[in-house]
Amino acid sequence: MSSTQPPQPNWSDPQYYFSRELSWIEFNARVLHEAMDERTPLLERLKFAAIFSSNLDEFFMVRVAGIKRQVQAQVDRRSLDGRTPQEQLEAICQKLLPLVAKQHQHVQSVLRPQLASHGVFLLDYAALNQAQQRHLREYFEERIFPVLTPLAVDPGHPFPHISNLSLNLAVVVRSPEGTSHFARLKVPSSLPRFVLLPLELQRRKQTPVWMGVPIEQIVAHNLDKLFPGMEVVACHVFRVTRNADLEVQEDEADDLLQAIEQELRKRRFAGSVVRLEVHESMPDEIRQTLMAEMGLSNADVYPVVGLLGGRDLMALVDLPLPHLKDAPWKPVSHPRLRRLMESEYSTDEDFFALIRKQDLLVHHPFQSFSSSVQAFLQRAAQDPDVLTIKMTLYRTSGDSPIVDALIDAAENGKQVAVLVELKARFDEENNIQWARKLEQVGVHVVYGLVGLKTHTKLMLVVRQEGDRLRRYVHIGTGNYNPKTARLYTDLGLLTCREDLGADVTELFNALTGYSRQKNYRKLLVAPTNLRDRLLDLIHREREIARAGRHARIVTKMNALVDPPLIGALYEASQAGVQIDLIVRGICCLRPGLAGVSDRIRVISIVGRFLEHSRIFYFHNDGAEDVYIGSADWMPRNLDRRVEAVTPVDDRAIAKDLQEILGILLADNRQAWELQPDGSYRQRHPASPDAVQSAQQILMDMARQS
C-alpha cells in the first residue's frame, strides 16, 4: 500500500475567510471598547471615542467608497468571504448601525456626565442661562455671522455642493404668506468647533476647567439674524462623507507632483457622497430631501444622538487634567546610547563606532527616537566623512527635524537623495510641501515607481573610513516621524553589515533609477520576492513538522488578508505547526477550524501605544529565523507597494525580539482572542485559563530560545 497525502482543500473557498470589511469593523469595535473601559483614564477614553469616529470617516472615504464604485460599475467579483459588492454594503450597514449608536450613546450618557464631574462641561445651548446666551449671541454677531452664507434651494437655486466632512444645517423657513422654503447653511470649519464661555459666565458650584458650546448650536439658535422677516420652522444638523481616494493615472502624468496636487483640490468636493450623518431628531421629510439630492439610500444614512463629527472631541484630550490621563511616558535612551548622548559624540566613540561593534535594535516609544534614529541622521549630516545619505519618507511630522537634518546634509555638501511618497493617504499635501522644501536646497527628490507606493522605511549612510567606503543602514517598521514615534510601538535596526548595505544600495537604485533588481542577498522586498520568501519560510516549518520535529511560527503585524499566505498557514497547521498570530487589525484567517486551523491562535492587542511593529519568527528546528520590516501580509503590501523586511542576524537582538513576542502573547489585559465565528473575546487577568496560557507561552518561548 502506498501512503499519499490527502487532497488539500480549495483555499479559495469562502468558508475559510472572514470578510475584510467586517473584520475591520471588529477592530474598530475594540477601539470603542477602550473608550468604554473604566480601567482607562477618562480623557484617554474620550480620545478613543474620537479615534473611533476618525477611523470611521476614513473607512467610508476609502473602503466603502471603493465598494460603492464596484456596485455602480456592476462589478460581480466577490470578496474573500463570498459576498457581492452589494452584499458587502448591506453587511457593513447592519454591523455598523448598532455600533455607531452605542458610541454616541456612551459619549452622551457616560463620558459627558463624567467629564462634568471633573469640571469639563460640554454644554447644550438650550440649557444656558440668559447671560450666557446673550454673550453667545454677541459672539455670533461679531465672529460667526459675517462668514456664514445661507444657500436657498428652489427651482432657481439648485442644491449646493457640500464639502467632505463638513457640518451643515438643513433649515426650513416660512414666509409671512405661509410658503415654506428650504435652505442649507454650512458651519464654518475655519472657526473652533467648541466656543468657550468667559470665566465670569461660568457659574458653577465647582470651578470649571473648561466650559464650551458646540458652534453649530450657536448658529442654530440665532438663525433669525440670517433670515429676517421669516419664521424659522426647523433646523437640523447633518454631515456628509465623500469618496476621498485619489485617482491618479501615473503612467499618463507628466509631473506626478502636479497631478497629485490637482487630485487634492478635487478631493474636497468632487468625490461622490458615501455617507450621510443626521441628528436623530431630523424629520423624515427633510431626511428624504437630503437623500434624494445626494443620490443616497436608507442604508447610507446614520442617525446620531448628540454630536456629529465625534473626531472633534480630540480637542478636549489636551486639557490640563493629568489625573484624567495616562501617566506621562518619557522615552529613555537605549543603554548603549546613553554614554554617547552624555559625551556629545566624542571622537573616540561615536555612533558609527558603536554600530561597527554590534547591531543596534531600538524599540519605540520605550526607547527614544530622538536620541537614536534622529540623532544618527543628524550626526551623519554633520560628519565630514559622510558622503551620501539616502532615505525614504512616507509620513513625517509638520515640524520635522528629520527634514531639517536632510537639508543640513545637503547644505554641508553631501549627496542627499530622498524618496518622498506623494501617495501616502491623507498626508499627500504635507509630503508635497516637504518635497518642494528639499528640492530648493539641492536634495535629489524622487517620487517612487509608477503604480507602486513606497512604504518601506529605509536609511542609507555612506561613509569614507580610511581607504574604504562603509555603508550604515537603518531599517524600520515605522515612519520617520518623531511625533508618532512617541505614540506607536515600532522597531528599528541600525547595522553596517555588508550584505544588508549592498541590498539597500541596490533597492535605492531600483527606486531612483531604472534598475530591475530581482534577487537580494538578505532583504525580502515587495513586490519582487517578499511573498515567495514568506511562503518558503512557512513551507519549511510545515516540512519540519511533517518530519516529526518541533516547528513553530509566531508573527506580529497589523493586518492579515493575503489568501496565498493564509492558505500556507492552514497547511502548516494541518502538518502540526503551532502558529501564534498577533494581528492588531484586520484578520481574514479563521482560527480554530477542525482539521484546518486548530493549531492557529490569533490575538489582537489595542492599547495605549498602538501596536505597529512587524515581527516574523520561524523556529526552523532550533536554527531560528527572526525578521522585522514594514510589510503587513496584505495583497496591497505584497503586490502594490515597495516594502523591505530584514532578517535579524545578531542572536542577542533576535532573542530580544522573541522576548517581545512572548510578552505580547502572554498579555491578559488588552489582548483579544479571535474566535472561529469572527468575534473576539477579551482576556481578563483573573481568568485561570489566561494565567495558565500566559505561563505556558512564556515557557515555550524561553525553551525555544
Which of the residues are catalytic? 455
Give CA–CA dist 496/459, Å, rounded: 12
Q: 645 forms bridges with which residues in the sheet?
A: 524, 629
- The H-or-E segment that residue 181 falls in is strand 180-186
Dihedral sign from CA coordinates of 124, 125, 127, 128: positive
DSSP 154: B
Asked whether 361 and 491 are in contact (CB, 8 A), the reply is: yes
Asked whether 527 and 641 are in contact (CB, 8 A), the reply is: yes
Cell digits of residue 377: 541622521
Q: How many CA atoms lie within 13 A of 414 on its CB side?
A: 29
- The H-or-E segment that residue 279 falls in is strand 273-279
- The residue whose grid cell reads 469572527 is 678
Q: Exposed, middle or buried by CB within 10 Å (0-12, 13-18, 19+), for 245?
A: middle
Cell digits of residue 339: 554614554
Cell digits of residue 343: 559625551
Closest to 308 measured CA to CA, from 281, 343, 341, 340: 281
Q: How many CA atoms lie within 13 A of 277 on its CB side?
A: 25
Buried b (16+ CB within 10 A) or exposed e, 400-421: bbbbebbbbbbeeebebbbbbb
Give CA–CA dist 270/276, Å, rounded: 16
Q: Dmax of the chain from CA atoms? A: 97
What number of other Cβ atoms are within 10 A of residue 6's Cβ?
Answer: 7
Closest to 241 measured CA to CA, from 61, 101, 70, 89: 61
Asked whether 447 and 256 are in contact (CB, 8 A), the reply is: yes
Give CA–CA dist 312/193, Å, rounded: 7
Dihedral sign from CA coordinates of 423, 424, 425, 427: negative
The one-letter amino acid code at 73 reads: A
Query: Which residues, other chains included, contact 620 with Cβ-Cβ below 8 Å and sequence gap of 6+?
Result: 540, 541, 544
Closest to 382 measured CA to CA, from 339, 413, 358: 413
Mapped onto helix, strand or coil, the DSSP state of residue 123 is coil
Pairing of strands 671-674, 600-605: antiparallel
Pairing of strands 167-174, 231-242: antiparallel
What number of other Cβ atoms are within 10 A of residue 152's Cβ?
Answer: 13
Asked whether 201 and 131 are in contact (CB, 8 A), the reply is: yes
Q: Phi and psi for 190 in degrees, rounded to 5? A: -75, -10
What number of other Cβ atoms are within 10 A of residue 307's Cβ?
Answer: 22
Asked whether 151 and 183 are in contact (CB, 8 A), the reply is: yes
Cell digits of residue 479: 515612519
